[in-house]
Structure 1
Amino acid sequence: MRPDRFQQFAIDAYRGAGLQAEAWTEGTKRPFGVVVTVPGGARLWHAITVQSAEGERYDQDEQPVEKEAPAPVTVPELGAGRVSLGVLEEYLAALLTNTGSPEIVKTWRYSDREQAGTTPGLGVEFWSGARAYAPFVLAARAGGSPGAPFDLPSEV
């Protein structure tokens, strides 16, 4: 799935769960991303990058590959108070999994990887062989402003 289509796919999945979500960009530095507002009013900005399927050429039409969609997973409750970024990883990954998209093999949280990175986020693997990555870049508590990129609080 190409980055522009994944961006809209994520926005639609988040909105389908009742969240506010819109496209976000930082020009050529981060051309694709989403800003999500959760029920308690906190906001999260995640970038989008994509590792293309082997042999994919952007000068040709995209050729999505569809097979069996991943089994639905439990979506954690967010509530109206503060929420940890780890729970937000799980929540957003679950929303993408539960779309029932036959293009998705699986989703994962960055914190679940064998070597967890320093930045929270999530990833999606597609049957085409492509992968989408959504690192969390900015976060702000309800009514607050985000800090510097990747200088994230533990909860929002």
Structure 2
Amino acid sequence: MRLARLCQFCIQTLPEAGPDIASAEGWQGDDAPLFGFVVSFSSGSRIWVQATGGLAPGAKADDSDIPVTGPAPEPVPLPTLFDNAGKISPERAEAYPTAVLTNAGNTEIAEVYGYNQRPAQSAAHPGVGIIFHNGARAYLPVVHTAQPGQDRGRQRFRPQSEF
């Protein structure tokens, strides 16, 4: 699955399958990445996600995006998104969409993981990784966070401790 189609899949799937996700839309603006989207949670908090990735082994950028399918990932329970005060941490902002995309039943996806959920590997930034059945990979780092009513700010990869 190429990045343009992956972003459309995320924009459609996240609010449909994530009860605490109010909407997802393309990231617009002068400094928006080529591929990215904004997720708005039911609390009004938001995250901005950039999509990058690597092609399947042997694939070229101008090859057709032909789906390769296999078993969809096994469903997992949706984790709690909000703390008792209704706030989201970067860790929960990573775990929740990871579970929603895992549970989507997409047969092109072999595995979905949170950057900080991998054993013995810590990540500098929250994000979601996807491995496809064709060997391609996608990386969805959280670039910005915002509390309800806030703008995303200008510093990239500096998530608020709660939002």
Do they fold alike, i.e. is TM over 0.5? yes
The answer as to 2:71 corresponding to 1:68 is yes
CA 32–122 in structure 1, closer or farther in 2 if over 3 Å, else same: same
- The answer to whether the Cα contact below 8 Å between 2:38 and 2:47 also exists between their aligned partners in 1 is yes
CA distance in 1, matches of 2:68, 2:30: 30
The answer as to 2:6 corresponding to 1:3 is no
Give the match's secondary structure for 2:142: strand
How much is the aligned-residue C-alpha RMSD, in angstroms?
1.8
Which range moved further: 108-117 or 121-130? Answer: 108-117
1:54 alignment counterpart: 57
Per-residue Cα deviation, 1:69-120 (whole angstroms, up to 9, x for no partner): 1110111232481011101111001111111011111111111233312111
CA distance in 1, matches of 2:149, 2:31: 28
Give unmatched runs, 5+ long, in structure 1: none
Name the TM-score, length of structure 2 as normaliser.
0.88
2:158 alignment counterpart: 151
Give the match's secondary structure for 1:19: strand
- What is the percentage of aligned positions where both structures have the same residue? 38
Give the match's secondary structure for 1:46: strand
Name the TM-score, length of structure 1 as normaliser.
0.92
**1:61 Cα deviation (Å)?**
1.4
1:132 alignment counterpart: 138
CA 146–27 in structure 1, closer or farther in 2 if over 3 Å, else same: closer
The answer as to 2:105 corresponding to 1:100 is yes
1:116 alignment counterpart: 122
CA 58–105 in structure 1, closer or farther in 2 if over 3 Å, else same: same
Which range moved further: 51-60 or 38-47? Answer: 51-60
2:90 alignment counterpart: 85
- The answer to whether the Cα contact below 8 Å between 1:39 and 1:78 also exists between their aligned partners in 2 is no
Matched letter for residue 112 of structure 2:
T
1:13 alignment counterpart: 13
**1:123 Cα deviation (Å)?**
0.4
- The answer to whether the Cα contact below 8 Å between 2:51 and 2:140 also exists between their aligned partners in 1 is yes
CA distance in 2, matches of 1:151, 1:45: 11
- The answer to whether the Cα contact below 8 Å between 1:25 and 1:31 also exists between their aligned partners in 2 is no
Say how many residue pairs are matched.
156
Give unmatched runs, 5+ long, in structure 2: none
